[in-house]
Every structure is written in structure tokens, then in C-alpha cells.
């Protein structure tokens, strides 16, 4: 058991629903337009919350978790658009680092560099990242049991994989081939794109606490990104996210920042 709660964050209610279903004795605290659910999961004290979409909403939520709930570290879970070669719909990406792809304070600073920091990438907590990767692989191996064989067949999830690497964030839902191609050209090592993680990574860096993130790929960040998005989240992602987080927590020791 950790000394304080761990924060579990998702951007949308559908992404967090299965996690909350595993916390039957949770206590709800409403603060700053958000509902924080304080309870137990996988043998650990946790606070689960829907951050809202975008970097500002995510940063506000992360700060509240750390300052008002004294969270000892944060984990973000949910969906992302696939960018990297071989990253397919249904695959899982565990972040090793985050970058804001829409940060550009040039010519004062290099493109993507965070002013005042001297760098652009925020690394995730190494052992948490490794633990989440192992949990995600176990989830992938039992995917049919987790979401059902019919769902696996409908979404073509028979051979899902787990990837580890850079995830990029920006305040734009990337949904065209031109946008995703431009991002691949600018940041060829980026595996996935979403709208919150880099902001949470920066907040956790500032507070000196561990941060990790696991994202299920819902689309390829192109013009088909909106197709069956909500259905995919409710039928696949919310269950695989909850399964992975629960598995990770059950193997987690007290974190070392």
C-alpha cells in the first residue's frame, strides 16, 4: 500500500467507466466542476477522475489531484490515434515520453521546446512504464475473455500488440491524413497522438511525482478517426484500460520517484 492515493485519470467518462465499476465503495468528492472518486483498487488507495478533453483541462485536474488529494503519482489511461508504423487500431501504446506537438515559441525557443525548461520531452516513470507494458501484454493475451470474441472479430483485434515510445499531445483532434502525415514528418518517432498526456507529464514533473500513461489506439488519426469512435471506447477501451490498470496495481510496489 502506498502512503497516499494514486491518481487515475481519463479524458472522457466512457474511458473511466469500467475502472469506476471496480470501485464499489468509492467516495465521491466534487471539486472545480469535476467528480473525484476516492476508494480502493488492486490493493491501493486511488482517486479516479475524468479530466475533460484538452491540455488545460488535464493540467487543472492533475494539479487538483496532487495538491488537494495529495496523490503520490498519476496514471493516464484512455484512447489515442496511432501514428507510428505498425501501430494499428486496437494496439496499446505505453508512453516512455511526452511532447506537445503544438508548442511553438520560435524564434525565441526551438520548436516544441517548453519555455523555461530547456527541453521538449517529459519522460515517464521508468518502472511504472515497464509495469504497465507487462500488464498491457497480459491484457492483450486475454482480450477475447475481456471484451468478448464478437467484439474482437468486429473490430479486427485478433493480433493486437503493445508498443512503447513517444506519445505527442495537442489541443486538436487529429482527423485527416494531411495532419497525421505532417506530424509523422515533424516527429518520426512518435507512436501516437492525443490531447492531454504532455500537460499531465509537465505538471507531474513540476511536482516531482511519478507519471505514466497507457493508451489504446482507437484510430489512425486520419479522416476515419470519428468512425465508431464512441462505440470503440465503450466496447473495447474502457474494459482493456480497466483490466490493464487493475493488473498493474496488483503488481505495484511503493513508487520511487
Catalytic residue among 91, 194, 219, 247: 219
What's the pTM? 0.92
Low-confidence ranges of the chain (pLDDT < 70): 1-2, 221-227, 254-257
For residue range 60-73, what is the model confidence (pLDDT) as tens digits? 999 999 999 999 99
> Does residue 189 have an active-site annotation?
no
**What is the predicted pLDDT for the residue at 222?**
63
For residue range 170-185, what is the model confidence (pLDDT) as tens digits? 999 887 888 889 999 9
- Let me know if domain 6-250 sits in CATH 3.40.50.1580: yes
Q: Which residues contact 179 (CB under 8 A, 6 or more apart)?
A: 172, 221
**What is the predicted pLDDT for the residue at 223?**
56
| 3-class SS letters over 42-58 | CCEEEEEEECCCCHHHH
**What is the predicted pLDDT for the residue at 167?**
98
- Distance CA(60)–CA(119), nearest Å, equals 22
> Does residue 91 have an active-site annotation?
no
CA 33 and chain centroid, separation: 21
Catalytic residue among 15, 91, 113, 194: 15
**What is the predicted pLDDT for the residue at 226?**
54
**What is the predicted pLDDT for the residue at 50?**
97
**What is the predicted pLDDT for the residue at 255?**
44
Query: Is there a contact between 111 and 104 (Cβ–Cβ < 8 Å)?
Result: yes
**What is the predicted pLDDT for the residue at 257?**
40
| Residue-range domain boundaries for the chain | 6-250
Helix (H, G, I), strand (E, B) or coil at 28: strand
Amino acid at each position: 500500500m502506498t502512503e497516499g492515493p494514486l491518481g487515475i485519470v481519463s479524458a472522457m467518462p466512457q474511458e473511466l467507466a469500467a475502472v469506476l465499476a471496480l470501485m464499489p465503495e468509492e467516495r465521491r468528492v466534487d471539486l472545480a466542476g469535476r467528480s473525484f472518486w476516492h476508494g480502493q483498487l488492486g490493493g491501493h488507495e486511488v482517486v479516479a477522475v475524468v479530466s475533460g478533453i484538452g491540455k488545460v483541462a488535464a493540467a487543472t485536474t492533475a494539479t487538483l489531484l496532487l495538491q488537494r488529494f495529495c496523490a503520490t503519482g498519476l496514471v493516464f489511461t484512455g484512447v489515442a490515434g496511432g501514428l507510428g508504423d505498425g501501430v494499428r487500431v486496437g494496439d496499446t501504446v505505453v508512453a516512455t515520453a511526452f511532447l506537445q506537438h503544438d508548442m511553438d515559441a520560435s524564434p525565441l525557443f526551438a520548436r516544441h521546446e517548453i519555455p523555461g525548461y530547456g527541453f521538449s520531452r517529459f519522460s515517464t516513470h521508468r518502472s511504472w512504464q515497464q509495469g504497465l507494458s507487462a500488464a498491457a501484454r497480459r491484457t492483450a493475451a486475454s482480450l477475447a475473455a475481456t471484451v468478448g470474441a464478437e467484439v474482437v472479430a468486429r473490430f479486427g483485434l485478433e493480433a493486437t500488440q503493445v508498443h512503447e515510445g513517444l506519445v505527442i499531445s495537442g489541443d486538436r483532434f487529429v482527423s485527416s491524413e494531411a495532419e497525421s502525415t505532417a506530424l509523422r514528418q515533424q516527429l518520426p518517432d512518435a507512436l501516437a497522438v492525443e490531447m492531454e498526456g504532455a500537460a499531465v507529464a509537465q505538471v507531474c514533473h513540476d511536482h516531482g511525482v511519478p507519471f505514466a500513461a497507457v493508451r489504446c489506439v482507437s484510430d489512425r488519426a486520419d479522416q476515419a478517426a470519428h468512425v465508431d469512435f464512441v462505440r470503440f471506447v465503450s466496447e473495447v477501451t474502457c474494459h482493456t484500460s480497466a483490466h490493464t490498470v487493475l493488473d498493474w496495481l496488483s503488481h505495484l510496489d511503493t513508487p520511487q520517484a
